Amino acid sequence: MGAALHDIEGTTGPDKRALRRGLLAARARLTAAEVGEAGRALARHALKLPELAGAGTVAAYVSVGAEPGTHALLDALHARGVRVLLPALLPDNDLDWGAYGGEGTLTRVRHGGRMELFEPAEPLLGPDAVTAADAVLLPGLAVDGAGLRLGRGGGSYDRVLARLERAEARPALVVLLYDAEVVERLPAEPHDRPVRAVVTPSGVRRFAP
């Protein structure tokens, strides 16, 4: 993925959007083989996490394009007998959830002019279903040394984290990234909730509570 970014403290507004564009551009340069290899490595490391080894329910997501791959991880969790919840994007950018029953149960959905997403088949369980998860695997573009995560800016997972907070749910929050996306510092906002760990193709990094 190239050299890591370092100190980007104070990056807000248009600069934060520029940072996202740069990170997405770096992902776009990856080959399909590199994405596949990274996804398999991510699965190997993630499956060793105690938070997943002991989980009955894991909320995750289906990677698309050059995102760090989740397909191998989803199938391995499902094979373990873990109840895997996957998101379905709602018109207001909130997330509903459905149970993963294997790759053949996913539906390809295009939301307006956005890229196609793979979502769980009906029946969906409602946005609050995520509060039953023992661990939540989060997408992102970067994470810093304090465990603060940079998302794509759509706000869907901000709503998920706020819903967990309201329900007083405390699942393990884990973000899946490429190695160069672990940076020293990101701008913090009042609603940010740190993740417990980041999994990259080279291993796992944990963050202090």
Tokens encoding 12: 């807000």
Is the pLDDT at 93 greater than 60, yes or no? yes
Is the pLDDT at 105 greater than 90, yes or no? no
* Cβ 139 vs Cβ 86: under 8 Å: no
Q: What is the pLDDT of residue 113?
A: 66
DSSP 123: P
Tokens encoding 149: 């995560």
Residues 6+ apart with CB under 8 A from 48: 204
Tokens encoding 126: 């409602």
Q: What is the pLDDT of residue 186?
A: 85
CATH architecture group of domain 13-206? 3-Layer(aba) Sandwich (3.40)
27-33 contacts at long range (C-beta below 8 A, 24 or more positions apart): 27/1, 27/65, 27/66, 27/67, 27/178, 28/66, 30/1, 30/66
pLDDT tens column, 24-81? 999 999 999 999 999 999 999 999 999 999 899 999 999 999 999 999 999 999 999 9
* Cβ 156 vs Cβ 93: under 8 Å: yes
Nearest-angstrom CA–CA distance, 112 and 94:
15
pLDDT tens column, 163-197? 999 999 999 999 999 999 999 888 777 667 899 99
* Cβ 171 vs Cβ 209: under 8 Å: no
pTM of the entire predicted model:
0.88
pLDDT tens column, 107-156? 888 887 666 889 998 889 999 999 999 999 999 999 999 999 998 878 89
